[in-house]
Amino acid sequence: MSTLWLIAKHEYKRHVMRRAYILILLSLPLMLTLMIGLIIATVNMENDDRPLGYVDQSGVLTEAIPAPLDSSLETPVEMIAYPIREDARAALDSGDIQAFYLLPDDYMETKHVELVYVDDIGDDATGQFWDFMRVNLMSNVPQGTVDFVTNGADITIRTPDGSREFSKSQILSLILPLLVGIGLVVLIMTSSGYLVGIVAEEKENRTIEILMTSISPNQLVTGKLLGIIGVVATQVTVWLGFLFGFIYLAANQFGYEWAQNISIESNTILMIVAVMVPAYVMFAALMTAIGSMVSATQEGQQLSGLVSLLLWLPMAFMGIIIESPNSPLVVGLSIFPASAPIVITMRTVFTVVPFWQLALSVTLLTATAGSAVWLAGRALRLGMLRYGQRLSLRELFRKA
Amino acid sequence: MNKTLAVLRFELITIFTRKSFLFLAFGMPIITFLIFQVVGAINRNDPNAIDDIIGSSQGVDSDGFVDLGGLITTHTEEIENGMLVPFTDEASASQALDAGEIVGYYLIPENVSESGKLIYIRPDFNPLALEDKAWAIEILVLTNLLGGDIEMAQRVWVPMDLEVTLLAPPKQQRDDSSPITFLIPYITTMIFYMVILGSASLLLNSIAKEKQNRVMEVLMLSISPREMLTGKIIGLGIAGLTQTLIWTSLGYILLKLSGRSMSLPPGLELPVSILVWGLVFFLLGYAIYGSLMAGLGALVPNIKEATQATIVVIFPLIIPMILQSALIEKPFDPPAIILSIFPLTAPVAMMTRLAGGGVPLWQPFLAAGLMLLTALIVIRAVVRLFHAQTILSGQPFKVGRFVKAIVRGV
C-alpha cells in the first residue's frame, strides 16, 4: 500500500510542480477573458453610436418620445430632428450623423420611409430607430402594451408534465449541460497526454526495468492512475473556482440577469454523472492501452490524436443536432459510445432525451469502458518490457 | 550550391513519397468528391431520403392557444390560415397535442397586458422552436391588446417600408444579398491560413526531427547551416505550392467530370490579378512564417516541445481568422486596413479583402513591400541563429530565449 501511495505522490508532484501546469491552469480563464474581449471588440467594430437624423413631414414624430433600450449593454443613439431634407443631408455630409430617415407626408397611408446613408449603419442604431418609431406610433396606448411590442413577449417554454422549463433569463441553466460536456472533453484530452505517457517515459529511459524488480505492474499502473486523477482533480477544482467566481461577479457586481437565475434539475446532474463517468473511464483506459503498446512517447501522441478526433467528431454535426435533435442520425450518434458524451449533453439542451435512449447509451458506454479497461491491462502486461517494436493489434487480441 | 540542391532534392523526395502527404493531397479531394456524389445520387433518386435521416419528420406545424383571460376577441390572418388553432380550455388543447394535430400550444394568462408573459407547452422542449414562429402569437396578442385594431397592430409591428438611398462611391458597393460575396473571401482566408501554416509546420517538423534523432550532428559535419536552411525552405515551399496546385486542379477536374461547371454568378468575377496577388502573398507569407518556424525548430530539443511552442509563432496568423467576419463585412474600416498591412497578419487578412474586391491598389503594394522587408529581416536573423551551437544544444524551449535570439540575429 505504501508503495502505491509513493508512486501516486511521485506522479502527482511530477506533473503539478511544472511551470507548464500553471499555464494549463490559467489557460481556461485566460481563454474566456480573451474570447469575451474579442466578442466585445467585434460587436463594437460592427456598431456605430453616432446620432441618427430624421425629417418628419407626416407629424408622427412631432412630439417625439425616446424609446427604452433593449439591454443595459446598448449605447443609446441620439435621434436628431431636421426640418428639411437639405439640412439633414448637410449634417450627413459633415459626418455629424451616420444616416437619416425621411418620413413623407403620406407616411400614415403608405408606411413608406426613405433611408439615406453613406456607409453601412450600425445594427444597434437601426434597431433603436425601429423602436423609436414604434413607441411614437403608440403614444396613447397603455405602457404594458408598449413594453410588449418593444421587448417582445416573454415566452416560457415548458414540457406538458412541467418537468422542464425555460425562459430567456435562464439561458445559463439551459446550456450548462453543454458546457459540462465540453469541459469534460477538454479534461479527457488534457489527461490523455499524461495517460499516453504513463509508462512510455519509464520505458524510454529504461527505469521500468528497475521498477519491475520491486513492484508489480498492477501497483505501478494503479499508483500512476491515482496520481493522474489527482492532477486532473486539481485542475477541475481550480477551473470550477474560476467559473463560479466569474458567475458570482457577473451576478453581484454587474447584475446580469442570466447569472442570477441559475437552477439545475437533479435529473440533469444525474444524467451528466451517468454519462460522463463511464465515458472518462473508457477514454482513459484506451489512452493507457495506447501508451503501453507503443515504444516511444511521440508515437503514442500521434495515435492518441486519432482517439481525440473521435471525441470531437460530433462537433461537425452540431448544425443537425441543434436543428433536429430527434432525427435518426442524431439518435444514432447519441447511442454510439465514442460520440455519446458530447451528443447526449448537446441534445439535453435542445430536447427531452427519451429514457430508453439514455439507458441504452449509458449501458453501451459502461460495457465499452469495461472492455477498454480489460484491454488496457492486457496491453500493459504484454507491452511492458518490449522495446523498439510496437505491440501489434493481432498480438493484443490473440488468446493468452 | 550543390549541397543546397541535395537538401532540396532530399526534402522533396521524402515529402512526396510520404503516405500522409499523398493522402492529404489526393485522398482528401477525392473523398470529399465521392461524399458529394453519393449525397447527390441519393438526393436525385429520392429527394426526401437525406431529410429523413438528418431531419425530424414533422408534417404538422400548427400551434394551439388557450385564452385564459378572455383577451382574444379579434382573430388575425394566422388563425384563418391554420397556423394558430384556438382552444377553449387546456384539456382540449392537450388532447389535440396527443392526437398530433398540433406541435404545441400557448397559454395566454389573464395579466398578459401588464406582464407580457406567455407560456408555450411543447413535448420535445426545443428552445429554438420558437425562433421563427413566435411572431404569430405575438401579433395576435398585440392586435387584441390594441382593442382589435388590425391595421394599427400591423403598423406598429412593422413601422416602415424602407426605400434605401446609398450615397457611397460605387467601388465600395457590394451585392450583400449574394452568399458568394461572403463565401469567396471566407474560403480564401481558410485556404491561405491552411497552406501557409501547413508548409511552415513541415519545415518545423523536419528540423526538429533531425535534431531529435541526432542526424543533425552528422549533417553539420559536411554542410553549412545556411545551405541546409535554404534547401529546406525552398524544398518545403515547393511541396506546399504543389499541394495547393493539386487541390485546385483536382477540384476543377472533378467538378468538370461531374458535369457541374464552376460558374460564378454574373457580376462577380475573380480577376487574374487575384491569382498573381495570391502567389505573391503566399510566397512572402511562407518566407516569414517558414523562417520563423525554422528558427523555432533550431531552438527546441524535440518534436514534442516544437508542437507546443508553435502557438508563439502562429498567433498573429490566427488573429485575422478570429476577426474574419468583421474583415469580410467591413473591409474598408481602419481595423481591417491595419490588419491587412501589418506584415504578420497581412498574408491572410489582405487576401480576404482582395477576394472581396474594391481594395485601392496602393494597399496590397504597401503590404507586399512591408512583408518583403520583414521576410528579409527574419531570414537574416534565423540564418544567424542556425549556427552549430544552437542547433546541437538540448536546452528546453523558452519564449524569452526565442525572441532574444531573433532580435540578436537582426
Q: Could you report the per-residue pLDDT of A108-142, keeping only the tens digit for each?
A: 888 889 998 887 777 778 888 888 888 888 888 88
Q: Is the pLDDT of residue A331 over 50?
A: yes
Contact flag A115-B120 (C-beta cutoff 8 Å): no
Residues contacting residue A284 through CB under 8 Å, at least 6 positions apart:
A188, A191, A192, A195, A225
Q: Is the pLDDT of residue B206 over 70?
A: yes
pLDDT given for residue B55 in this prediction: 60
Average pLDDT over residues A244-271: 75
**What backbone phi and psi angles, to 5 degrees, belong to A166?**
-150, 130
Reported confidence tier of residue A399, pLDDT bands at 50, 70, 90: low
Judged by average pLDDT, the poorest of A313-327, B89-103, B271-285 is: A313-327
Residues contacting residue A235 through CB under 8 Å, at least 6 positions apart:
A24, A25, A187, A190
CB-based contact (8 Å) between B124 and chain A?
Answer: yes
CB-based contact (8 Å) between B155 and chain A?
Answer: yes
CB-CB contact of A100 with A92 (8 Å): yes
Domain A51-153 has CATH 1.10.260: no
Reported confidence tier of residue B177, pLDDT bands at 50, 70, 90: low
pLDDT given for residue B381 in this prediction: 82
pLDDT given for residue B171 in this prediction: 45
Cell (9 digits) for A292? 503501453
Reported confidence tier of residue A367, pLDDT bands at 50, 70, 90: very high
Other Cβ atoms closer than 10 A to A231: 20
Average pLDDT over residues B257-264: 56
Q: Is the pLDDT of residue B267 over 50?
A: no
- Using a cut of 0.80, tell me whether the model's pTM lies above it: no
pLDDT given for residue B372 in this prediction: 92
pLDDT digits (tens, 9 = 90+) for A54-79: 998 888 888 777 877 766 566 788 88
Reported confidence tier of residue B351, pLDDT bands at 50, 70, 90: confident
Judged by average pLDDT, the poorest of A104-108, A280-284, A305-309, B164-168 is: A305-309
Window 64-103 of A: residues touching B by CB (8 A cutoff) are 92, 101
pLDDT given for residue A206 in this prediction: 79
B367 vs A255, higher pLDDT:
B367
Beta bridge partners of A54: A81, A101
Closest Cβ–Cβ partner in B120, B159, B325 for A134: B159
pLDDT given for residue A22 in this prediction: 82
Q: Is the pLDDT of residue B263 over 60?
A: no
Window 119-138 of A: residues touching B by CB (8 A cutoff) are 119-120, 130, 133-134, 137-138
Closest Cβ–Cβ partner in B116, B160, B333 for A111: B160
Query: Tell me, what DSSP letter sits at residue B60?
Result: -
Reported confidence tier of residue B388, pLDDT bands at 50, 70, 90: low
Task: Please give the Cα distance from B320 to B324 (Å, whole number).
Answer: 6
pLDDT given for residue B179 in this prediction: 58
Smallest CA–CA distance, residue B138 to chain A, in Å, is 6
pLDDT given for residue B296 in this prediction: 81
Chain B positions touching A300 (Cβ under 8 A) are none
Window 292-351 of A: residues touching B by CB (8 A cutoff) are 297-298, 301, 320, 322-330, 349-351
Between chain A and chain B, the number of residue pairs with CB atoms below 8 A apart is 171
Cell (9 digits) for A108? 400614415
Q: Is the pLDDT of residue B56 over 60?
A: no
Contact flag B162-A119 (C-beta cutoff 8 Å): no
**What backbone phi and psi angles, to 5 degrees, belong to B119?**
-120, 135
Strand pairing report for B117-121 and B104-108: antiparallel
Question: Within chain B, what is the greatest distance between any pair of CA atoms?
Answer: 95
pLDDT given for residue B172 in this prediction: 46
Task: Report the candidate in B32, B126, B52 with the shortest Cα–Cα distance to residue A329.
Answer: B52
pLDDT given for residue B175 in this prediction: 54
Q: Is the pLDDT of residue B264 over 60?
A: no
CB-based contact (8 Å) between A156 and chain B?
Answer: yes
The domain spans of chain A are 51-153, 175-217+264-397
Reported confidence tier of residue B367, pLDDT bands at 50, 70, 90: very high
Place of cell 457590394: B174
Reported confidence tier of residue A381, pLDDT bands at 50, 70, 90: confident
Task: Please give the Cα distance from A165 to A173 (Å, whole number).
Answer: 10
Residues contacting residue B68 through CB under 8 Å, at least 6 positions apart:
B107, B108, B109, B110
CB-CB contact of A87 with A57 (8 Å): no
Chain B positions touching A152 (Cβ under 8 A) are 134, 138
* Interface test with chain A among B18, B66, B156, B176, by most A beta carbons within 10 Å: B156
Comparing alpha-carbon positions, the chain A residue that sits nearest to B140 is A153
Judged by average pLDDT, the poorest of A298-307, B74-83, B99-108 is: A298-307
Q: Is the pLDDT of residue A46 over 70?
A: no
| Percent of chain A clearing pLDDT 70 (strictly above) | 87
Task: Please give the Cα distance from B315 to A235 (Å, whole number).
Answer: 25
pLDDT given for residue A169 in this prediction: 66
Average pLDDT over residues B234-263: 75
Q: Is the pLDDT of residue B189 over 70?
A: yes
Task: Report the candidate in A360, A40, A315, A281 with the shortest Cα–Cα distance to residue A178.
Answer: A315
B185 vs B352, higher pLDDT:
B352
Mean pLDDT of chain A: 80
CB-based contact (8 Å) between B54 and chain A?
Answer: yes
CB-CB contact of B356 with B174 (8 Å): yes
Reported confidence tier of residue A362, pLDDT bands at 50, 70, 90: very high
pLDDT digits (tens, 9 = 90+) for A144-203: 888 888 888 888 888 888 777 777 666 666 777 777 777 777 777 777 777 777 777 777
Q: Is the pLDDT of residue B409 over 70?
A: no
CB-based contact (8 Å) between A394 and chain B?
Answer: no
A314 vs B347, higher pLDDT:
B347
* Residues A103/A109/A111/A116 CA torsion (nearest 10 deg): -30
Q: Is the pLDDT of residue B303 over 80?
A: no
Contact flag A350-B158 (C-beta cutoff 8 Å): no
Task: Please give the Cα distance from A150 to A355 (Å, whole number).
Answer: 40
CB-based contact (8 Å) between B131 and chain A?
Answer: no
Contact flag B54-A118 (C-beta cutoff 8 Å): no
Task: Please give the Cα distance from B373 to A160 (Å, whole number).
Answer: 68
CB-based contact (8 Å) between A381 and chain B?
Answer: no
CB-based contact (8 Å) between B221 and chain A?
Answer: no
Window 38-67 of A: residues touching B by CB (8 A cutoff) are 38, 41-42, 45-46
The alpha helices in A249-354, defined as continuous H runs, are 257-260, 266-293, 297-312, 318-323, 328-335, 340-350
Task: Please give the Cα distance from A337 to A366 (Å, whole number).
Answer: 9
Average pLDDT over residues B26-54: 73
Strand pairing report for A99-103 and A112-117: antiparallel
Chain mean position to CA A277: 19
CB-based contact (8 Å) between A158 and chain B?
Answer: yes
Contact flag B167-A157 (C-beta cutoff 8 Å): no
Closest Cβ–Cβ partner in A111, A156, A164 for B120: A156
pLDDT given for residue B369 in this prediction: 93
Reported confidence tier of residue B71, pLDDT bands at 50, 70, 90: confident
The domain spans of chain B are 63-157, 178-409
CB-CB contact of B9 with B232 (8 Å): no
Contact flag A326-B124 (C-beta cutoff 8 Å): yes
